[in-house]
Structure 1
Amino acid sequence: MNKPAAITALSALGQETRLDVFRLLVQAGAEGLPAGAIAERLGVVQNTASAHLKLLAQAGLIRSERQGRVVRYMADMTGFRDLLAYLMEDCCNGNPDLCRPVIEAVACHC
């Protein structure tokens, strides 16, 4: 990941509803959730949810799959790991072993 991509991802997560969407999709796991269910669970109107979903997808933090008339969204854990790796790239003054507990704590084993 490069600096502009990291800024885009951090900006996407820097808004309350988008952060809630991302966390909801992380909780949902690999199955994800349909767009309508996301809007309903967060109490936002569908077109507002769609705008937030679009920004998160452009930032590489979520992905979608069309299933007939339904669009299902999932957290893109590869994109999220890339963001974390970028943020921790030069961790601990060049001693990555000091950061290993943090890295292992955020590793997704799903």
Structure 2
Amino acid sequence: MDKLHALDAFSALGQETRLDVFRLLIQAGPEGMLAGEIGEALSVRQNTMSANLAILTQAGLIRPVREGRAIRYFADMEGVKGLLAFLLEDCCGGRKALCQPVIDKLACGC
């Protein structure tokens, strides 16, 4: 992940509702959640939720999957891994290989 992509991700997470959505989808795990379920869980109107979901998707932090007329959202664990790798790329004296197991464990993809 490059610096501009990381800034997009941080910007997306820098708003309360979007941070709540992201954390909720991390908790939901591999089942993800339908857009309406997310809105209900967070008490956010559909049009507001739609805009926030679009921003998180564009930032590479969540991914949508269409299920008929509904859309199910999942935390994009590859995006999470990329963000963690960006944050930790200079750890351990710049030896990324030492930090990679930590990144892999944190972004389990489960």
Q: TM-score normalised to the size of structure 1?
A: 0.89
Q: Which amino acid aligns with 2:81?
A: R
- Name the counterpart of 2:86: 86
Distance apart, 1:107 and its partner CA? 3.5
- Name the counterpart of 1:7: 7
Query: C-alpha distance in 1, partners of 2:108/2:12?
Result: 21
Runs of 4+ in 1 over 2 A off after TM superposition: 92-97, 99-105
Contact 2:77–2:109 (8 Å) recurs in 1: no
- Name the counterpart of 1:20: 20
Greater shift after overlay, 85-94 or 51-60?
Answer: 85-94
- Name the counterpart of 2:44: 44
Q: TM-score normalised to the size of structure 2?
A: 0.89
Q: Which amino acid aligns with 1:84?
A: L
CA-based RMSD of the aligned residues comes to 1.7
- Residue segments in structure 2 that go unaligned for 5+ positions in a row: none
Q: Which amino acid aligns with 2:29?
A: G
Write the deviation string for residues 38-64 of structure 1: whole angstroms up to 9, x where unpaired.
000001101000000000000000000
- Residue segments in structure 1 that go unaligned for 5+ positions in a row: none
Question: Against the structure 1 CA distance between its residues 108 and 3, is the aligned structure 2 distance closer, same or farther, given a 3 Å change threshold?
Answer: same
1:35 aligns with 2:31: no
